[in-house]
Amino acid sequence: MKIKSVKTYHLRCHLENPFGFSQWFYDQRNVLLVEVNTENGLTGWGECYGPAEIIQTAVEKFYAPKILGMDATGTEAIWHHMWRSSLDFSRSGVMMAAMSGIDMALWDVKGKFLKQSVSQLMGGAVKSLVPCYATGMYYQDLPEEQLLKALIEEGVGYANQGFKAMKIKVGKNIEFDKKLITGLRKALPHTVLAADSNHAYDLPEAIHIAKVLDENNYAWFEEPLSPEHPNLFAKLHSKANIAIATGECEQTRYGFQRLIDAGGVQLVQADLAYCGGPSEALKIRAIASAKGLNMIPHVWGTQLNLAAATHFLATAYPEPGRSETQTLYLEYDRTENPLRDNIYKTEVKVENGQAVVPTSPGLGVEINQTKMKDYVVSQTETTMAGEPKH
**Known catalytic residues?**
298
Angle in degrees, CA 45, 50, 55, rounded to 5: 65
Are 12 and 377 spatial neighbours (Cβ–Cβ below 8 Å)? Answer: yes
Strands 165-169 and 129-135: parallel
Return the axis-axis angle of helices 174-187 and 203-215, rounded to nearest 10°: 20
Query: Is-contact 340 89, C-beta < 8 A?
Result: no
- Rounded to whole angstroms, the Cα distance separating 22 from 366 reads 34
Q: What is the dihedral of CA 357, 362, 365, 367, to 10 degrees?
A: 170
Three-class DSSP category at 26: strand
* Phi-psi region at 205: left, alpha or beta (left = phi > 0; alpha = psi -120 to 50): alpha
Q: Where are the alpha helices (DSSP H) in the chain?
A: 52-57, 64-67, 75-86, 94-114, 118-121, 144-160, 174-187, 203-215, 231-237, 252-262, 277-290, 303-314, 338-341, 369-372
Strand 192-196 and strand 165-169: pairing? parallel
Handedness of CA 291, 293, 296, 300 (dihedral sign): negative
In sequence order, the β-bridge partners of residue 9 are: 33, 379
Q: Can the peptide bond before residue 65 be classed as cis, meaning omega within 30 degrees of 0?
A: no
